[in-house]
Amino acid sequence: MNLESRIDEIRARIGSAAARSGRRAEDVKLVAVTKQVEPDVIARAAQYGLCVFGENYAQELRLKQEIINRAVSENVEWHFIGRLQRNKVKYLVGSVALIHSLDTVSAAGEIDRKARAAGVKMPVLVEVNTGGESKGGIEPDALDDFLLKLAELQGVEVSGLMTMPPYFDDPEDARPYFAALRDLRDRLSAKYPDLKELSMGMSGDFEVAIEEGATIVRIGSAIFGNRA
């Protein structure tokens, strides 16, 4: 099956899952994860209408972004979805539309400095460790405190939450983790009204995540194949 047919299929599955949660396909943003994907393939995806790409490494993101910008006329945006290191923040502010994985005060401070210096507000999601065994993410109990600290940073705009559940063969097993993230957002959104987005669900479990309220899904191998 070629790339275009895969994209059609994934979009249809997103649409069906959105309908099952009483929403429309447009309510769910598809981030195509391009880790290990060559620029010529990304360009082809962009020409077919994919317009949001996610990368795990800051420098690789910048390089691919520059190559794609020159190659295609379509407007595309880039999201950073990998482990966020403070010393890589400088590559991201001003280049990416959204950072999905903020989970330290020091990285937040650096984003704030770089964003204010550039005269912008950097949209971020806070990564939450709903699974208990993930390497990154803020513990759910500590989320309110963390959000309070972020609220003081003028250069940082927290627009939602992200989580990465443990891997399961059966995507149904991930459902409680997605539901937990949605509950967290619902409980905290009275206090933090900008907290809207839920970035959750990947190639193996995005339909379950959408049923549980995902507004952003991060899909790589289901579109581009298992490259590595």
Binding site for other proteins (CB under 8 A): 1-3, 6, 36, 38-41, 43-44, 63, 66-67, 70-71, 224-228
Residues 6+ apart with CB under 8 A from 72: 43, 46, 47
| Cβ closest to other proteins, residue 39 vs residue 140 | 39
| Cβ closest to other proteins, residue 39 vs residue 123 | 39
> Shortest distance, CB of residue 88 to other proteins, whole angstroms?
18
> Shortest distance, CB of residue 212 to other proteins, whole angstroms?
27
Residues 6+ apart with CB under 8 A from 202: 33, 164, 217, 218, 219, 220
> Shortest distance, CB of residue 37 to other proteins, whole angstroms?
8
User: What does the alpha-carbon distance between residue 44 and residue 68 come to, in Å, rounded to a whole number?
Assistant: 10
User: What does the alpha-carbon distance between residue 226 and residue 211 come to, in Å, rounded to a whole number?
Assistant: 25
Sign of the alpha-carbon dihedral angle for 159, 165, 167, 171: negative
* Residues in the chain, overall count: 228
> Shortest distance, CB of residue 209 to other proteins, whole angstroms?
21
Single-letter residue type at 223: I
According to DSSP H, which parts of 119-174 are helical?
143-151
> Shortest distance, CB of residue 10 to other proteins, whole angstroms?
11
| Cβ closest to other proteins, residue 91 vs residue 177 | 91
| Cβ closest to other proteins, residue 43 vs residue 126 | 43
Contact between residue 40 and residue 68 where contact means Cβ atoms under 8 Å apart: no
| Cβ closest to other proteins, residue 44 vs residue 121 | 44
